[in-house]
Amino acid sequence: MDIAALNSTKILRKHVLKWMCLFFGLLSFIFAVFNLSKNHFYIVAGLEVCFSALCFYIFIQLVKNKQRNWYAITVCMTVTLVILCGTFLAPLKNGLFLWAFSLPILYYLLLGRKYGIVLSATLLVMQSSVLLYKLPSPYFSSFNLALNLLFIYIIIWVISHVFEGNRAEFSKRLKNLALLDPLTGAGNRLSMSHYFEVEIKDKSQLYLFLIDLDHFKQINDEYGHDVGDKVLVELATLFRITFAKGYVFRVGGEEFSLMGNFDSAQSALAMAENLRQAVATKYIEANGITINLTASVGVVKYQQQNLAELIAQADKQLYKAKDAGRNAVFSDINLCADAA
Ligand SMILES: Nc1nc2c(ncn2[C@@H]2O[C@H](COP(=O)(O)OP(=O)(O)OP(=O)(O)O)[C@@H](O)[C@H]2O)c(=O)[nH]1
């Protein structure tokens, strides 16, 4: 299972940042040499050298797979600063101010919609102020030119906003399709692996509950599949409410797996008992029929096992509960050892 594909936004942003850094690093260096040797704009050249060095540093770190949260925001802020200072210091005929048009795309690609909107608006205000300050320049004496530049910026901003908004929305929908069971809305097996391996950072107090509904086949046989489906949906909701502080997954036809952290083995076992009782006392209305059923529960504690081993262990307990007559909680947790 390709769990990494679930972090597509993070991977995409990392790639964009890496190649942007290489591109900006090279370009800024070439501009710096040019500004130093030909134009004699020493301050602008100095800024460009610093920016180029930062870009190369981040590029190398990303090639080595060392990613930090501050890279993207720092690149965006510094490139903005270089362009604003360059616009202010260099003559407008050099056209450095035109680079501002590329920035909304960069903001949205690297930082997403929230940062994109704030930074694009801030840049518009600041760059307009700098250009207005330089208004006597013949390049901005034409109102039409100023208006055209403004609209070009706004169009690039709007397109970046709509594009990133749709990309983020589709990425979220694809993630839901990949991770959620379409019938009950609970997580699926892939989702369970994802949470176990990626999302749950501290597993020192992690417990796994495997819940299997008792004699569920009879409900299908007596009342039909539709009723069976309704029961599964209602029980998935019941588990999510009863086990609000953990994760709920549907791992088989009528089998659910729940994962969560607990302060002690006692509280984990109390939760398992709550879940069993919640099912046993639930009356589900479906197609005019009232259904009441029971569930068997197996509970295990995480102790450095991999997920397959953890599930196999919980499965053993679950089948002990089934063998003991169902509607029961079984666990291999040693309460004395756990308390010690
Ligand atoms: N309605 C419905 N039934 C399903 C779904 N997936 C699996 N099932 C049914 O779940 C039933 C599972 O039956 P068994 O594995 O025999 O288990 P059981 O009847 O619950 O018996 P025990 O587990 O031994 O208590 C089968 O009848 C499957 O058809 C589903 O998505 N919807």
Q: How far apart are CA 36 and CA 58, in angstroms?
A: 24
- Is residue 338's pLDDT more than 80? no
The pLDDT of residue 117 is 97
The pLDDT of residue 136 is 64
Instruction: Give the strands of the sheet with 255-261, arranged side by side.
Output: 247-252, 255-261, 206-213, 295-301, 329-331
Q: How far apart are CA 167 and CA 269, in angstroms?
A: 43
Closest Cα to atom 21 of ligand 1: 215
| Domains along the sequence of the chain with CATH | 3-178 (no CATH), 189-339 (3.30.70.270)
Closest Cα to atom 5 of ligand 1: 253
pTM for this model (two decimals): 0.74
Closest Cα to atom 13 of ligand 1: 217
Question: What's the average model confidence in pLDDT over 311-339?
Answer: 88
Digit-coded pLDDT (tens) for 137-190:
565 566 777 888 899 999 999 999 999 999 999 999 998 899 999 999 999 999
Q: Which of 14, 104, 99 is nearest to 48 (CA)?
A: 99
Closest Cα to atom 27 of ligand 1: 217
Percent of the chain with pLDDT over 70: 94
Terminal Cα-to-Cα distance of the chain (whole angstroms): 38
Q: Could you give the residue ranges of the DSSP H alpha helices within the chain?
A: 8-34, 42-63, 70-89, 103-133, 143-179, 189-194, 216-223, 225-242, 265-280, 307-323, 335-339
User: Active-site residue 254, yes or no?
Assistant: yes
The pLDDT of residue 139 is 58
- Is residue 121's pLDDT more than 90? yes
* Tokens 């729940």 -> residue: 258
- Is residue 289's pLDDT more than 60? yes
Q: How far apart are CA 105 and CA 279, in angstroms?
A: 52
Alpha carbon of 253 to ligand 1 centroid (Å): 6
Alpha carbon of 216 to ligand 1 centroid (Å): 5
Token pair, residue 296, equals 């068997």
Of 181, 188, 217, 219, which is best to mutate to test ligand 1, by the most ligand atoms within 8 angstroms of its C-beta?
217
- Is residue 73's pLDDT more than 90? yes
Rounded to the nearest integer, the mean pLDDT of the chain is 91
* Dihedral angle over CA of 115, 116, 120, 121, nearest 10: -60
- Is residue 340's pLDDT more than 60? no
> Which residue in the list 48, 169, 197, 254 is annotated as catalytic?
254
Please work out whether the CB of residue 252 comes within 6 Å of at least one atom of ligand 1.
no
Alpha carbon of 226 to ligand 1 centroid (Å): 13
253-282 exposure pattern, b = at least 16 Cβ within 10 A, e = fewer? ebbbbbbbbbeebeebbebbeebbebbeeb
